[in-house]
Structure 1
Amino acid sequence: MKRILVTGAFGQIGSELINKLSDIYGQDNVIATDIKSGNYSGPFEKVDVTDGKRLYEVAKQYKVDTIMHLAALLSATAEKMPKRAWDINMGGLINALEVAKELDLQFFTPSSIGAFGPTTPKEHTPQDTIQRPTTMYGVNKVSGELLCDYYYYRFGVDTRGVRFPGLISYVTPPGGGTTDYAVEIYYEAIKQKSYTSYIKEGTYMDMMYMPDALTAIIQLMEANPDQLKHRNAFNISAISAAPEDFAKAIQVYIPEFTLEYDVDPVRQQIADSWPNCIDSTAAQEEWGFKAQYDLQAMTKDMLEKLAAKLK
């Protein structure tokens, strides 16, 4: 990677990724694109990913060698607008893949634990297993995994990707995901010393702190392609936790913190269809994935950073 175009650059992942990429490759070599402007002093172009012609023009104009395609509607939002989710998530993806094919670019797009479904093994979910999701977001992600594989095998596009768990960050506010409670709980711990979870007690899901997620993207993209047996949709995770686990971790630093529940049936149904914990062995063996933050280390850092941010 030398010159990188990022779609959805001001979303949950992109807003932090563009700055990390800039630190490594130079700000002039990281081109941010989105349907709205954001806080970035490097090159920016307004791009709707459903407009394939515009995306192609920008990629060619800046002579990029890599596309990191992040533009998408997340799980809970996608359930409210399934047709729009398909148009953006799948239409945008095939447009970006076409640009990568035409310009011979390296390509990254994230999948998700949402690609799994209720018939997937819930404990230590294998890299290769049954995937029959029951959400539009999950259908999009499975379709996207297959599409990226197809563009690699049929056209030779250097596609790569990971299945992200829930991502936790102090920088970007929650953006419509089922796992967003794991971000909101830290904000409310600082502001209110209490939180009401829309996910019920005992619901385990995989999570990851954003610094680990960003490192994983770059590490995978820089990996020797000869080492990649799977290429796309690598399982990666750092933490498997339920709401009460977050509460206990927070109470180490804020003893008076309390957790209550008011379950949202839609998001709970989505959460129940996902694994409790996934197996990241393939990512570890093929490109050396290893998360640095466990629940306690992440909680300490989140609370410190948010306390400073919310002053």
Structure 2
Amino acid sequence: MKRILVTGALGQIGTELVAKLRETYGTMNVIATDIRACDANVIEKKGPFEVVDVTEEAGIYYVAAKYQVDTIIHLASLLSANAERNPRLAWNINMGGLINTLEVARELNLKFFTPSSIGAFGPSTPKNLTPQNTFQRPTTMYGLSKVAGELLCDYYFKRFGVDTRGLRFPGLISYIAPPGGGTTDYAVEIYYHAVKNKAYTSYIKEGTTLDMMYMPDAINAIITLMEENPEKLLHRNAYNVSAFSAAPEDFAAIIRKYIPTFKLDYQVDPTRQVIADSWPNAIDSSAAVNEWGFRVEYDLEKLTKDMLEKITGKLGME
């Protein structure tokens, strides 16, 4: 990668990814785009920023050609819980935006990355050590769009030779940008509430184990995958990746090592609980490890220490 266009750059992944890419490849070589203008001085004053609606192919093409990019990292999407509230909008954004950016990649001969998700699995998928290749019948619009997206990227690779790559991300945890309506958002919220209130009410019930990953590991995985020799990539558009699996009470137990009075209770959100119940407990990341050296630095304990320190500083509560 030498010059990179990022869609959805103001989202949870995009905010941190753009910063890391600019640090690695140069500020002016990473073009951040989103459907809304950047008003926080976070991205706009540190490099190129363009307003782009991914449902309009012409706008994506214009920006990609203007900056002569060689790679598109396509992050713009509607996440799981929000997608269930407005499934038609989710389809239009997730699938319409994807095929538009794939077309631009095909026309301009660009490398292409888009994330998939553990949401691509469903209730009939094996729950434990979920294989790389397995039965996928998701029961949500978000999951449906992710399976279709994996297949569409496979199609553009095989039919047109577009160098498409992707990761099935678990729940992603970050202190920098707020989550955007996903089922695993509680794993971010619990740390903020621990610092501010020493208590949290989880919308996911006790005992619901899900795969998770700290954002620095997710960012590193994207860059590592995109820099890998394409000949090594057998499962190029849908690698299982995860750092650890945890339930709400597991987060609480580690938080209490630092905040002994922290309290956790539950008020279950039926919509998000149904989604969570349809996902695996723990997935098998061995294909990513074997094919391109996937690894993580943060387990739950190391992540918790870092999250609490960073949020405390961010909120000025030191």
Tell me if 1:118 matches 2:116.
no
- In 1, the alpha carbon distance for the partners of 2:113 and 2:284 equals 21
1:217 to 213, 218, 222: 222
Tell me if 1:90 matches 2:95.
yes
Residue in 2 that maps onto 1:35: 35
Residue in 1 that maps onto 2:274: 269
- In 1, the alpha carbon distance for the partners of 2:139 and 2:209 equals 18
Amino acid at match of 1:238: A
Number of aligned pairs?
A: 311
Residue in 1 that maps onto 2:58: 53
Q: Normalising to structure 1: TM-score of the pair?
A: 1.00
For structure 1, the 5+ residue unaligned runs are: none
Helix, strand or coil: the match of 1:13?
helix
Helix, strand or coil: the match of 1:45?
strand
- In 1, the alpha carbon distance for the partners of 2:167 and 2:235 equals 10
- In 2, the alpha carbon distance for the partners of 1:228 and 1:89 equals 24
- In 2, the alpha carbon distance for the partners of 1:229 and 1:260 equals 44
TM superposition shift of 1:173: 1.0
2:67 to 43, 55, 62: 62
TM superposition shift of 1:167: 0.2
Deviations 1:10-58 (A, max 9, x none): 0010011000000000010000010112221200111000000110011
Helix, strand or coil: the match of 2:112?
strand
CA RMSD of superposed structures (Å): 0.4
Helix, strand or coil: the match of 1:107?
strand
Deviations 1:209-260 (A, max 9, x none): 0000000000000001111111111000001000000000100000000100
Amino acid at match of 1:95: N
TM superposition shift of 1:175: 1.1
Tell me if 1:3 matches 2:3.
yes
Residue in 2 that maps onto 1:103: 108
2:140 to 129, 135, 151: 135
Deviations 1:84-140 (A, max 9, x none): 000000000000000000000000000000000000000000000000000000000
1:238 to 226, 232, 243: 243
- In 2, the alpha carbon distance for the partners of 1:152 and 1:64 equals 19
- In 2, the alpha carbon distance for the partners of 1:52 and 1:96 equals 7
- In 2, the alpha carbon distance for the partners of 1:230 and 1:52 equals 27
Helix, strand or coil: the match of 1:206?
strand
For structure 2, the 5+ residue unaligned runs are: none
Amino acid at match of 1:276: N
Tell me if 1:166 matches 2:175.
no
Amino acid at match of 1:87: N
Identity within the alignment, %: 71
Amino acid at match of 1:132: R
Alignment of 1:247-286 (within 5 A): 247-286=252-291
TM superposition shift of 1:174: 2.0
Helix, strand or coil: the match of 2:84?
helix
2:209 to 204, 219, 224: 204
Q: Normalising to structure 2: TM-score of the pair?
A: 0.97
- In 2, the alpha carbon distance for the partners of 1:221 and 1:299 equals 28
Amino acid at match of 1:174: P
Amino acid at match of 1:144: G
Deviations 1:57-85 (A, max 9, x none): 11001000000000000000000000000
